[in-house]
Structure 1
């Protein structure tokens, strides 16, 4: 069995649970660093709607890269860490994904390995774009974000999107799921705003490090805002 990636979102609704989740950004490392078969993980906060850089204190993410699916299932089904998260959160949604392509670096290397067991009949595409922004470029970058994201809202075929990150303002990522390749390509190449954002990135060179990766989501567990965004992958 080949490497897989999971991304789990947790939603918290009261002050005490939000405070607990914020603390786990530090305290959860002790347990996660010892999980069998876990090749890399990232505890992540999230931004407000519209890729606002201000934190969304109600939503946190856990990105995990696994040696295989068996190790992932063992963690989600039996770990005390996950039980604590489930007990504190109002909602949890986990997406299992197989990597299809990855370019760039994350903490100095590319952690994703292309899967050899992709499903031809599965049209869904998930995308993670992650970057560390140069400190001197922070103001210019965040002033431009609203313009670059205009064409994303209401885009045909966009099923889910959320801004996430390890360090507010500085180390940020976007996660999105699309109904099919055509929808993603329409946004990537037909959107004037997106094309201009690519040109800006090349001209201003505002990243210290960046990574772009695509995945095939194949399993969806839990709910988000009361429903499973990938219901037909539910099991």
Structure 2
């Protein structure tokens, strides 16, 4: 049995949607919906890591667990490590669950937990999903990933990879099975400690993708595949889409 904990980084500040974790989605805050989804997965604990007392109080108010972290962390990964250090519990893996994905499915979390059931536990793990439309394929907001034959990530990019020089872009999906990256991460505790000490890398700065820092420094990222779509909330328009999805679901 894998001893895994879920940590949800949740910042109050957001350029496009201030106070994003507290946004109301059909009578519950976004962060409450994320916590409730995560609690259905095979996790021993689900903890919100936040830089703001308003989010902390709100999570504690609905019966969740939360810790207050430094407001100066440059990334969610750093915030997750801060929270893990405060918890001080031995675990096999730590799952970094995005605080702005209220429809994250427990099976997606479990897919990463299961990768750590083998004695040779991966250093890092993340989710991938088949690309199903040209819009997804060519959107720079949906990073793509190429894998080796063992399912380890070779590279992540906001551009479709591979480039098919023999076919026009509108026909690329007919000739190759593309994968997009889903931003759910799992770490071995010792590896999480190491990667938070790494300086930003040139590939990371070029693509604005933190996981490239880890690859560039020689770490290996194992992937699990999901068929389920996710919906990240970044703008007021995304909130409207989420409310529509909730109405359909109910």
Same fold (TM over 0.5): no
Higher relative contact order (CA 8 A, sep 6+): 1
TM-score by length of 2: 0.31
The structure whose residues are more often strand, as a share, is 1
